[in-house]
């Protein structure tokens, strides 16, 4: 078991003393993530933008301009293309046909299949369709789900601990979500309902990790009433550090297997989860815990010992 112990017991790392550096890095990365989303936007999947997504497997890596030109000449609208995996698999995204008749969609898919097979030797894999109305509802529901999760967890922390814990929890979770969005804006991986599920899972993991540290902080606040808040938080984080690191590494091993063997469908979900574990662990250790000091959290008042006079009164 000693060989498996990555973090030794009784560590004494000064996390709080570098909180200003951590806050600066966090602020910079958060602003960068928001800027990436604003400039590049997210590569929304069919779930959110609507349309018909047709997946084709080519014998070798195709020239996307030629594929786009071939599809556009079919007269179904402007095609959006994305290469997947080894770049021989291409997703062709087209607008939903004006006619609501499923036969119109089937006609579109068959025409694209025939054109790409004739010119490039591509093999059809699958296709999916989402209407514009449904995609709009999915966007609203996805945003609402994330916001409700953040607000609900912050309120829970507020009532369970102190208001400072609620605010620090909300800040940490918002940081984790924005980091994930910035990653998808940078990489332009498809952002679909699977990624929303990953974001909600990241929120759940982050709050679980943070609750462990918060519980230890509250326990130590009652146990060491004379200790300064900086020393108390460092003590609490160091005491929970082996659990935090080992949990994160265990999950990362499982996600790495899923990334390698899970196939293209789960690749975006797994990448989001791996990033979320890293930023969630970082925010729990360096951001939310140290933020409690900035928000003015103090240890509880010391219990007053009964003096001799009060003792005499009780005896009398």
pLDDT in tens, 249-283: 888 888 888 888 766 667 778 888 888 888 888 88
- pLDDT of res. 8: 63
Q: Position of tokens 């003792």?
A: 311
DSSP conformation class of 295: T
Phi and psi at residue 80, to the nearest 5°: -110, 130
- pLDDT of res. 252: 87
Structural domains of the chain ordered from first start: 2-43+135-294 (1.20.1640.10), 51-130 (3.30.70.3400)
DSSP conformation class of 259: H
DSSP conformation class of 54: E
Q: Which two tokens stand for residue 272?
A: 């989001």
Q: Position of tokens 């997703």?
A: 91
- pLDDT of res. 28: 92
Q: CA separation (Å) from 213 to 6, 104, 205, 208, 278?
A: 19, 56, 13, 9, 16
Q: Which residues have a Cβ under 8 Å from the Cβ of 50 and sit 6 or more positions away?
A: 95, 96, 130, 131, 132, 133, 134, 135, 136
Q: What is the pLDDT along the chain (316 residues), one digit of tens a residue?
A: 454 566 666 777 788 888 888 889 889 999 999 999 899 888 877 767 777 888 888 888 888 888 888 888 888 777 778 777 777 888 888 877 766 667 878 888 888 888 888 888 888 888 877 665 566 677 777 778 778 877 887 787 777 777 888 888 888 888 888 888 899 888 888 787 778 888 888 887 788 788 888 888 888 888 877 778 888 888 888 888 888 888 888 888 888 888 887 666 677 788 888 888 888 888 888 888 888 888 877 765 444 444 444 443 433 3
Q: Burial, 100: exposed, middle or buried (Cβ in 10 Å; 0-12, 13-18, 19+)?
A: exposed
Q: What is the DSSP string of 200-254?
A: HHHHHHHHHHHHHHHHHHHHHHHH-TTS-HHHHHHHHHHHHHHHHHHHHHHHHHH
Distance CA 177, CA 282 (A): 13
- pLDDT of res. 284: 83
Give the E-state strand segments of the chain in sequence order: 43-44, 51-57, 80-84, 89-94, 123-130, 190-191
List the one residue out of 161, 299, 293, 162 whose CA is nearest residue 226.
Answer: 299
| Residue 210, number of CB atoms within 10 A of its CB | 25
Contact 277, 205 (CB under 8 A): yes
List the one residue out of 203, 192, 80 whose CA is nearest residue 138.
Answer: 192
């Amino acid at each position: 078991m000693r060989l498996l112990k990555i973090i030794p017991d009784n560590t004494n790392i000064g996390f709080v003393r570098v909180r200003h550096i951590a806050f600066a890095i966090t602020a910079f990365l958060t602003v960068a993530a928001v800027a990436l989303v604003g400039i590049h936007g997210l590569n929304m999947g069919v779930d959110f933008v609507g349309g018909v997504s047709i997946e084709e497997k080519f014998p070798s890596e195709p020239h996307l301009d030629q594929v786009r030109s071939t599809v556009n000449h079919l007269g179904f609208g402007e095609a959006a293309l994305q290469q997947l995996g080894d770049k021989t698999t291409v997703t062709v995204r087209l607008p939903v046909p004006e006619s609501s008749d499923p036969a119109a969609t089937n006609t579109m898919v068959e025409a694209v299949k025939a054109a790409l097979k004739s010119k490039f030797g591509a093999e059809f894999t699958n296709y999916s369709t989402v209407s514009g109305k449904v995609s709009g509802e999915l966007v609203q529901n996805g945003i609402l789900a994330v916001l409700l999760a953040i607000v609900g967890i912050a309120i829970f922390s507020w009532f369970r601990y102190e208001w400072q814990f609620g605010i620090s929890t909300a800040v940490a979770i918002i940081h984790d979500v924005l980091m994930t969005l910035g990653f998808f804006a940078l990489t332009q991986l498809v952002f679909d309902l699977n990624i929303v599920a990953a974001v909600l899972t990241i929120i759940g993991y982050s709050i679980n990790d943070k609750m462990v540290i918060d519980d230890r902080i509250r326990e130590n606040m009652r146990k060491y009433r004379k200790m300064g808040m900086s020393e108390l938080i460092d003590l609490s984080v160091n005491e929970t550090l082996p659990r935090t690191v080992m949990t994160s590494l265990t999950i990362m091993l499982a996600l790495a297997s899923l990334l390698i063997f899970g196939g293209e469908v789960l690749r975006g979900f797994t990448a989001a989860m791996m990033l979320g574990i890293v930023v969630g662990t970082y925010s729990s250790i360096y951001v939310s815990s140290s933020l409690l000091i900035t928000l003015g959290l103090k240890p509880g008042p010391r219990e007053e010992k009964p003096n001799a006079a009060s003792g005499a009164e009780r005896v009398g």
